[in-house]
Structures are given as C-alpha cells and as structure tokens.
Structure 1
Amino acid sequence: MRVIGGRFRGTRLAELGSGDAQAHLRPTSDRVRESIFNLLVNGGYGDVLQDARVLDLFAGTGALGLEALSRGAAHVTFVDDGAVARGLLRQNIEKLRAMGCTKVFRRDATQLGQNRGHGFSLVFLDPPYGQGLGEKALTSALAGGWLAADALIVWEENAPQPAPAGLHLLDQRRYGETYVTILTLQGTA
C-alpha cells in the first residue's frame, strides 16, 4: 500500500498484508483508491480536495484520509475503535509527518456523539462489509452535526447502497467486488 498522488506520492504505508479479519481490517486496494480519487477530481465536484476538512470513518490504516491530505486537504480526523487499526494509523501519520494536521479518535463510528467543531466537507466511509454499519454511521454523523452543508460523502461497500434519509445519491460505481457510492446532503446537489 502506498500514497498514489500528491505531495506524499509513492510513500509506502504500514504493511497490513491481506488484512486482519478479526480486527475487521480490509485495506482499500491501490486500484480502487486511485479510482475514487480520479472520480473526485474529474467527476464534476469542483475542487473538493483543496483545503478540505476530511472525516475518515472506520479509518483502518488511514489510507483514504492520508491520500486526501497528500492531494491538498487541510485536515483529516480519523475515527476507528480498533487498537490494531489505530496503531497502523499512527505509524502512517508519523511516516508522512502529518501530526499537526490530523486527529485520531478512538470511537465507534456508529455512535459519534455531538461534534464540537466545524463540520467536515469530505467524508470517507469504509465500514466492515455487509453489516449495515455505514448507514448507522451516516445517521450518527448527521445527528451530531459532523457534516458541513456542502459535504461530499464517499462510501465503500460490497454491494450498492441506497441513499439514507437526508442524503442525495450523486454517483455509484463498481470496481470489482467493491461499490463506491457518492452522496451529498439533500438539496445541495
């Protein structure tokens, strides 16, 4: 696993191998990650990455959030409740020397609570597949004020996902066994 583009391009991230099923760690492949970022840059969403405040839910190794940081995001907040994931995530943050523009929360992404800061303009959501956790996390993020009015949400799952209440479906793509769903708040599309 490596950073694909931007200022940290080519930096190798902490090795996870094929993943850690017990910890629900399943890394997004470089190919899928590259496709996601090509879609964000070329999909008509404006300059969504430049100076973005990014929320990476079910962050795992942090590859999605760190890729966004490499490509111009101003800040990334990572949320994961797994000890293995947070250890790998901290290693990756240190490799990129990104301590000043990142935060790591040990928290269940489906129970975020109230956000005490500004909303996030870009949200990555890569929950354990097939458990319904993505919709629960989005419901929690909406209820807690975690999303900015113009937020763009990128949801990775193993099946097509419908837009939960309060969100609008913008795009959905399949990359092998992975489906990527792009959402925004209703009325902002």
Structure 2
Amino acid sequence: MKKVKNNAKHSNQVRIIGGTHRGRKLSFASAEGLRPTPDMVREKLFNWLGQDLAGKTVLDAFAGSGALGLEAASRHAKRVVLVDNNRQTVQTLRQNSRDLVLAQVETQFSDGLSYLKHSSECFDVVFLDPPFAWSGWAELFALLQSRLKKGAMVYVEAGALPEMPPYLEVYREGRSGMSTFQLLVYAQEIE
C-alpha cells in the first residue's frame, strides 16, 4: 500500500477570507490542541458580526493560528489583542501581524484567564476558541463579564459547549465537524 504524503504546501496554513487582506495565506506552527476555525465557519461568523468591524476592539483569548483575530484586523477592527500561551505560536502571530502591516494588532504571551485577570481593557468582540480539552470555562466567564462593553458579541467554539452564564444570550449558533459554536450577545441589565 502506497503511503500518502501530506501536501506541505497546504498544511499549517489559514487563509484570510475577507477585508483588506482577503486571500492572503498565513502559516502557523503546530501546537498541541491547535485547530484553526475552518474558512466556512469564519465566513458564517463574520456574516453574523457584520463584514466591517471598523471602530471595534477585539480580543482573541486563545489565538492559536490567529485566524479569528487577524481576520477581524483585516476587516478594519480598531484594535485586536491576540493572546496565546505558546511561545512559538506568539512569535508566529507577531510575524504574521508584521507581514500584513497590521499595526492595530497587539500580541500577548499569556493564557486567556491570566490576561483577563490582569487587563482593564473592555472589548466589543471576544473570540473564545480554546483547545477542546480545556476546562476553565466557569472561571473564564466569571472574569469575562467585566471586560465586555455594552452589547459586546462573544464567540464560543468547543467540542461540547459549556454552560453559558446568564449575562450572555445566544444570538446565532451552528456546527461544523467536531465543533459546536455560538455567537452570544452581552445582555447587560438595564439600570
């Protein structure tokens, strides 16, 4: 039986699907638990969010390949913070941001929980796509609420979705392969 070789040209790459860098391919290093959000899912997500994120501040708390955060930057987000706890991944994210000349992108070497604990910034859009085996959802949601602007949108992708906190309401949802995803809206109580 003939051994099938992986096509190195297409492995460990993601493609920006919209905005000023549409069609650009970005390489990323392999890392445990890293599985980029597929093009089809990103296309659906950015249709839900609106194609243009001008003026929005975005947090990608488990950046990995950078597919979600760099896509947001390509779609004119005012500021994008990419957070990842793998040194090689962070170096690649920084290089991709430089290559695309995305000055509004800041990359942090940290994990999503630590970043939320130590940051005082609030965001319009938050992407939460940790490795499937990750289980810190309750603590994450406890920290997240104070980092959301009024009407913020929160994207969650997981093998099995966690129990959502009462301050987030489902706006849209879907499935793709082994992933389930939801776009939620921050349902801030009216005072």
Shorter-chain TM range is 0.7 to 0.9
Cα 1:182–1:85 shift into 2, 3 Å: same
> In 2, distance between residues paired with 1:138 and 1:105?
20
The 8 Å contact of residues 162 and 169 in structure 1, kept in 2 or not, is answered as no
1:92 shift after superposition: 1.3
2:109 aligned residue: 106
1:96 shift after superposition: 0.8
- Seq. identity, %: 35
The 8 Å contact of residues 152 and 183 in structure 1, kept in 2 or not, is answered as yes
Q: Which has the larger radius of gyration?
A: 2
Give the 3-state SS of the residue equivalent to 1:72 in structure 2: coil
Structure 2 unaligned regions, length at least 5: 1-13
Structure 1 unaligned regions, length at least 5: none
Partner letter of residue 69 of structure 1? Answer: A
1:135 shift after superposition: 4.1
Among candidates 26, 30, 34, match of residue 13 of structure 1:
26
2:88 aligned residue: 84
1:182 aligned residue: 183
Alignment coverage as a number of residue pairs: 176
1:129 shift after superposition: 0.8
Partner letter of residue 140 of structure 2? Answer: A
1:148 aligned residue: 149
CA RMSD after TM alignment: 2.2
The 8 Å contact of residues 32 and 175 in structure 1, kept in 2 or not, is answered as yes
Cα 1:187–1:116 shift into 2, 3 Å: closer
Among candidates 55, 62, 70, match of residue 66 of structure 1:
70
> In 2, distance between residues paired with 1:8 and 1:168?
31
Q: Please report the TM-score for the alignment, with normalisation by the length of structure 2.
A: 0.82
The 8 Å contact of residues 173 and 181 in structure 1, kept in 2 or not, is answered as yes
> In 2, distance between residues paired with 1:31 and 1:63?
12
2:44 aligned residue: 35
Give the 3-state SS of the residue equivalent to 1:35 in structure 2: helix
Q: Please report the TM-score for the alignment, with normalisation by the length of structure 1.
A: 0.82
1:57 shift after superposition: 0.6
The 8 Å contact of residues 57 and 124 in structure 1, kept in 2 or not, is answered as yes
Cα 1:107–1:20 shift into 2, 3 Å: closer
Query: Which digits, 9 at most, give the CA deviation of each residue in 1:4-63, with x for residues without a partner?
Result: 0110101110144xx432xx3222222222222123228xxxx6x222100111111211
Partner letter of residue 6 of structure 1? Answer: G
Cα 1:158–1:175 shift into 2, 3 Å: same
